[in-house]
Amino acid sequence: MGILSRMIPTEDASARKREIEEKLKQEQETLSFIRENLEKSDQLTKGMVSILSSFESRLMQLENSIIPVHKQTENLQRLQDNVDKTLSCMDHVISYYHVAKDTDRIIREGPTGRLDEYLACIAKIQKAVEYFQDNNPDSPELNTVKARFEKGKELLEAEFRNLLTRYSKPVPPILILDAISVDEELEVQEEVVLEHLPEAVLQDIICIAGWLVEYGRNQDFMNVYFQIRSNQLDRSIKGLKEHFRKSSASSGVPYSPAVQTKRKDTPTKKVPKRPGKDDVLDIEIDSYIHCISAFVKLAQSEYALLLEIIPEHHQKKTFDSLIQEALDNLMLEGDNIVSAARRAIMRHDYSAVLTIFPILRHLKMNKSEFDSTLQGTAASTKNKLPTLITSMETIGAKALEEFADSIKNDPDKEYNMPKDGTVHELTSNAILFLQQLLDFQETAGAMLASQVLGDTYNIPLDPRESSSSASSYTSEFNKRLLSTYICKVLGNLQLNLLSKSKVYEDAALSAIFLHNNYNYILKSLEKSELIQLVTVTQKRAESLYRELIEQQIISYKSSWFKVTEHLSEKNMPVFQPGTKLKDKERQIIKDKFKGFNDGLEELCKTQKGWAIPDKEQRDFIRRSQKTVVSEAYRAFLQRCANISFTKNPEKYHKYHPEHVEEMIEKLFDTSA
C-alpha cells in the first residue's frame, strides 16, 4: 500500500510533464510559423513599397507630360469657341445689312390679311435700326432701315384707319330701340349687346394700337379713332331720328317691331294735343326723348370699346372728343326746342311750352346716368346737360307765370263770347293746360321751385325743407307749390269769367254762362287728379265751386220772376162767387194772363237757344223750374176757375199746365 501510494504521484508528474512538453512543442511550432509569416509579410511589404514608389514615380512623370497637353488643348478649345462666336456675330451683323432687302416685299404689300407676319417683319427692321444707331450711326444702312420702319409704321396707321372705316357702321335703329327698351313685365331684363366691330377685326385693331403706342411712338391714331367713331355715333342717332320720321309717316308707330315694350322714363300717356295741332309735334318729342336715351346707351358702349383700344391715360380725353359732335347736336336740338317755346310765349301761345315737359322730365330722370357716362370728361362737356335743363326750367317757369297772367288779363271781347252762354274757350283751354300738367307734376313743381317762386305765392317752407337753393326743395314742397299755382290760375280764371259775364245784356244769360263755366271747371277737376292737387292747398275747393254754381242757378231762376209774378195774388181782386166783376177787376185778371203768356213765350223762345252742356245740370234746372212755374200756374188757374172775366177765355187761357211744362222742357235745347 505504501509503495502504491508513492508510485501514483510520480506517474501523475510524468504525465503532467509530457503534457507540458507537448504544449511547449506546439507553441514553439506556432511561434516558428508566425516568424516565418512575419518574414514573408516583411518581404511582401518591402515589395509593395517598392511597387508603389515605382508607381508614384511613373505618375509624376505622366503628370509632367499630360498637364501641358491639357492646357494646350483647353486653349485650343477656347480659340475654337471664340471663332464660332465671331462667325455667329458676323452672320448676325451681316443679317442687319440684308434686312431692308429681305423685308421689302412684305412692307410694300402691307399688313392686310397677315398682321402677325407683318409685325414680325417690322420687329426685324426695328432691331436693325437699333443696331446701326448703337454701332454705326453714320452708315447709309441706318437711313435705309429708318425709312423702311417709317414706311411700315405708316402702313400700319393706314391699316388701322382702313379697318375702322370699313367695319364701323351705324347701329341699326331697331337694335338701338331694343337696347333702350324696358319690358315692365320681365323681372330680369335681357341686355342687348351692341357689337360695333367683328371680333377678329377688333383684335387686329387692338394689336395695331398697342404696337403704335409701344413702338411707333404715335398718338395720331387716337385722333383717327375718335373721328371715325364719332361720325358713326352721330350717324346712329340721326338714323334713329330718320326711323321715327319714316315709321310715323307710314304707319304712325315709330317703334321697333321686334320688341313692343314700354320705354324707360318716357310718358306712358301722350301729351294731349293742343288745339289745331297734329301728331308731328308728338313724334318730334318722342324722337328727341329716345335720342337722348340712345346717346347714353351708345356712349356707354363706345366707352367700353374704347377701353380695349386706347391707352389708359388717353381714354377720357379721347372719349370726350368722340362724343362731342353727337352731344352738341342733341344740345342744339334741345336749344332749338327752348327757342321755339320762347317764340311761342312771345305769341302768347303758352301751350307750346308743354313740349318741354316730357323732354325735361326725361332729361332729369336720366341725369344721374348721363353724368355717370360723362364722368372724367371736361367740365364744359359735363355742364352741357345741366345748362339745357336750366334753360328748359327757366323758359317753362316763365311760360307758367305768363300763362297765369294771360288768364287773368284775357280781354272781354263781345264777339268772342258764346252766344248761347256755353263754356268759354278760355276756360276749356285753361283746364286743358292744367290737365296736361298732371303727367308732369314733379317737373312743373320743380320748374316753379327753380325760379324761387315760393315767395311769389307766399308758401311757408317746412323747417325740414329749408335751404338756400331751389334744388333742395322737396317733392312735397314742389307739390304744394304747383297746387298753389293751379289755384292761382283758377282764381284768375274765375275773376276773368266774372268780368266777361258782364258783357251779356241779359242777366239770366250771364248766370247761365257763369254756371256752365263753373260747372265745367268743377267736373274737369273731379274727373282728373286736379282736384287732389288743388285740395293740397285749398281744402274747400269742391264746396266753393258748388256754392258758386248754386248761386248762378238762383240768379238764373230770378229771370222767371217776371213770369211768375203775374201768377201771384198781388192786386188780385177779392170777390164772392157769383158776383159780377168790375171792368177794372176783369182787366187785372186779363193783364195777369197776358203778362204770364207773353213772358212765358218770350223766355222760352230766348232760352231755348241757350245751352247747358251738362245733361245732369240741364235736367235739374228744367225740373226745378217746371215745378216752380207749373205749381204757381195751377194755383192761379184754380183761383180763376169760377171767375167770368172775359167772353173769350181761350184768348187768355192759352196754355194748360202740361203744355207749360213741355215748353220749359225744351229750354236749352237748340235742336228742339
Q: Does residue 217 carry a pLDDT above 60?
A: yes
Spatial separation of the C-alpha atoms in residues 629 and 567, rounded to whole Å: 9
Average pLDDT, the chain: 84
Question: What is the band of 405 on the pLDDT scale with cuts at 50, 70, 90?
Answer: very high
Q: Give the C-alpha separation, 282 to 271, whole Å.
A: 7
Confidence band for 100, pLDDT divided at 50, 70 and 90: low
The pLDDT assigned to 137 comes to 77
Query: In this predicted structure, what is the pLDDT of residue 193?
Result: 78
- φ, ψ for residue 643 (rounded to 5)? -105, 130
Encoded amino acid at 361, one letter: R
Structure confidence by residue, pLDDT tens digits, 144-173: 877 888 888 889 999 999 999 999 999 999
**Is the predicted pLDDT of residue 229 greater than 80, yes or no?**
yes
Q: What is the pLDDT of residue 121?
A: 85
- Looking at 1-15, 216-230, 309-323, 332-346, which range is the least confident one? 1-15
Residue 188 has pLDDT above 70, yes or no: no
Q: Provide the angle, in degrees to the nearest 10, between the axes of the packed helices 220-250 and 315-346.
A: 40
Give residue 86's pLDDT.
Answer: 57
pLDDT at 45: 87
What mean pLDDT do residues 206-219 have? 86
CA distances from 299 to 165, 197, 238, 256, 477 (A): 19, 15, 14, 20, 35
Q: In whole angstroms, what is the distance from residue 363 CA to residue 324 CA?
A: 18
Give the tens place of pLDDT for each residue, 265-299.
333 333 444 443 445 677 888 999 999 999 999 99
Residue 121 grid coordinates: 417683319
Q: What is the pTM of this model?
A: 0.72
CA 268 to CA 262: how far, in whole Å? 8
pLDDT for the residue 79: 77
User: How distant is the alpha carbon of residue 167 from its chain centre?
Assistant: 28
pLDDT-derived band at 325 (thresholds 50, 70, 90) equals very high
Which of helix, strand or coil describes residue 411? Answer: coil
pLDDT at residue 249, rounded to an integer:
67
Q: What is the pLDDT of residues 452-499, one digit of tens each?
A: 544 444 454 443 343 344 444 478 888 999 999 999 999 999 999 999
CA distance 467 to 472: 6
% of the chain exceeding 90 in pLDDT:
50
Compute the distance between CA of residue 449 and CA of residue 454 in angstroms, rounded to an integer: 7
Task: Quickly count: other Cβ atoms within 10 Å of residue 45's Cβ.
Answer: 10
Mean pLDDT over 83-91 rounds to: 55
Non-local CB neighbours of 127 within 8 Å, separated by 6+ positions: 96, 99
DSSP 582: P
- C-alpha 356/C-alpha 123 separation (Å) is 59
pLDDT for the residue 10:
67
pLDDT in tens, 608-628: 899 999 999 999 999 999 999
Which tens digit of pLDDT belongs to each residue from 115-138?
888 888 888 888 887 787 778 777
In order, the DSSP letters of 206-273 are: HHHHHHHHHTS---HHHHHHHHHHHHHHHHHHHHHHHHHHHHHHHTS--S-SS---EETTS-SSPPPP
Whether the pLDDT of residue 196 is over 70: the answer is yes
